[in-house]
Amino acid sequence: MSVPPEAEQGRATVTISAGSLRGVTGADGISRWLGIPYAAAPVGESRFERAAAHPGWTGVRDADTMGPTAPQAPYRGVLGELLPTVVIEGDEYLNLNVWAPTDASGLPVMVWVHGGSLAHGANALPGYDGAAFARDGVVYVAVNYRLASEGFSVLDGAPGNVGLADVVAALRWVRAEIAAFGGDPARVTVFGESAGSILLGALVAHPDAETLFARAILQSGMPDALPPAKAGRITASVAERLGRTRSRAAFAEVPPDELVAAEQAVTAGGTPMTGGAGFALAIGDDLVPTHPLDALVAGAGSGIGLLLGSNTEEYRLWFVPTGLLDRVGPLVFAGARLKFRIGRRVLAAYRAARPGAGRGELLGALATDLLVRLPINRLADARLERGATTHVYEFAWRSPVRDLGAAHAMELPFVFDGLDSGAWTSLTGDAPPQSLADEMHAAWVRFAKTGDPGWEPWDARRPVRVFDAPTPTTVLAPRETERAAWG
């Protein structure tokens, strides 16, 4: 995506360590620098290795169009209609975009890390435009990182978690260079959704977190990682599909498009809610030395301000458009109960709260709480014991599109205040409440500027800011009977 010609007013040139960049200053008073490489292209000898420093360039490099995106395939079926994919060819896809008010100086910085199951997504998606943040006095940065096998393989002869290492490299770039764009490197807030939130949660747990950012916002994705043997199962399946050994040397011989095709084959039918083959962080290296949620509960990241939350009906993104909601029969439901150790007391509490609900709806609510809401409460409670500040939210507005309700990813158009852009209508429909976007976007900006999003921090009363129309409200201990039933 490039800046529309009618928005152009002039050029904005900055100089960073790698060279000079020529961006665009729009009539809206916002300057944009797009497709800036923060590391060397991860190709050739650099493939499956941690990001290396970019060699730089001579002269002035144009930064007025989106840069390449990481190799990936579009979402399948109806999910592809709801969550579009942007593919821009090129090797320098370890790039980032910057939006800033014209003549900015010393402003807070927000760094966005996109989601997509560690296999999809890009900073070039129109919905991730940072104009609203820049309008409100923030320098906004959107990051690309390596996806799927390129970023999260477990290979002999190669480091793990290189996609996470890419995010670290981008944050170090921000620390070193953002002052040239008017940002304050000591006032960086990272925020991400779904897989992006999982990556950032792992970094909050890292001992060096406070050298990279001051605050973090985790949306619909709690810190998670697997032992290498489990995280590497998908790599083994891809290797088998390709007829290759599970080694860096073997994978480096496979063109990226063939690797993506093999990934599609082995992940078919799986979802974050129902399971199946998927990519994950691997425990055991310097970036993820232990399970990140356990580390956070034990006190890691207590010096970092944290805002975290989820959507009321996360499961509906996968259960409703695919028809799965109505296909959960007795055997599937019983198998899920056994797998997740859902006892009679828990099930009774959920049934009592949802009279008349079918098995699909019950299973979706249980899965949402197991994967997101229960860990949020666990982490917020642990941080409270250590005196760390935590704010918790829940997004509850129900979209009429395909009966999605308050599904996974539904908060994004409101966080980005992008309801009038047309980028999000596939999720929200044509008449979402602008007042809710005003409230939610402003809360994120306030948190980045002050550490206070506008409601009381977590305490023994369990306050949760519920974002819904017509007016967001703070609710104490929502659905406490269900949460408490887990013991």
- Quick one: what percent of the chain has pLDDT higher than 90? 94
Indicate the DSSP class of residue 304. Answer: S
Active-site residue, from 31, 117, 153, 194: 194
> Domain residue spans in the chain?
5-301
Contacts of 398 (CB under 8 A, 6+ apart): 313, 404, 405, 406
**Amino acid occupying residue 340:** F
Gyration radius from the chain CA atoms: 22
Count of CB atoms situated within 10 Å of the CB of 119:
24
- Is residue 441 annotated as part of the catalytic site, yes or no? no
Q: What is the pLDDT of residue 9?
A: 61
Q: Which residues pair with 100 in a beta bridge?
A: 31
Q: Read off the pLDDT of each residue in 402-422 and give the average, rounded to a whole number.
A: 97
- The pLDDT value recorded for residue 6 is 37
> 277 falls in which pLDDT band (50, 70, 90)?
confident
pLDDT at residue 276 in the model: 77
pLDDT above 50: residue 232:
yes
Of 31, 408, 426, 482, the catalytic one is 408
Nearby residues of 407 by Cβ (< 8 Å), 6 or more positions away: 311, 313, 314, 315, 316, 317, 320, 399, 427
Instruction: Give just the sign of the alpha carbon dihedral 101, 102, 108, 110.
Output: positive
Query: Is 408 an annotated catalytic residue?
Result: yes
Q: What is the pLDDT of residue 5?
A: 38
- Residue closest to 386 by CA, chosen among 451, 476, 448, 295: 295
Q: Of 193, 313, 314, 482, which is the active-site residue?
A: 314
Active site residue 46: no
- Please confirm whether the linkage preceding 470 is cis (ω < 30° from 0): yes
Burial class (CB in 10 A: 0-12, 13-18, 19+), 63: buried
For the domain made up of 5-301, the CATH class stated in words is alpha beta
H or E stretch at 275:
none
Q: Who's near 372: CB < 8 A, 6+ residues apart?
A: 220, 221, 222, 310, 314
The answer to whether 104 touches 180, Cβ cutoff 8 Å, is no
Q: How far apart are CA 266 and CA 148, in angstroms?
A: 12
CA nearest to 218, candidates 293, 120, 135: 293
Q: Does residue 3 register a pLDDT over 60?
A: no
Q: What are the tens digits of pLDDT across the range 77-125?
A: 999 999 999 999 999 999 999 999 999 999 999 999 999 999 999 999 9
Measured between alpha carbons, how far is 295 from 204 in angstroms, rounded to an integer? Answer: 9
What pTM was computed for the model?
A: 0.96
The percent of residues in the chain predicted with pLDDT above 70, rounded, is 98
Residue 371: CB atoms within 10 Å: 19
**Integer Cα distance of 7 and 103 in angstroms:** 17
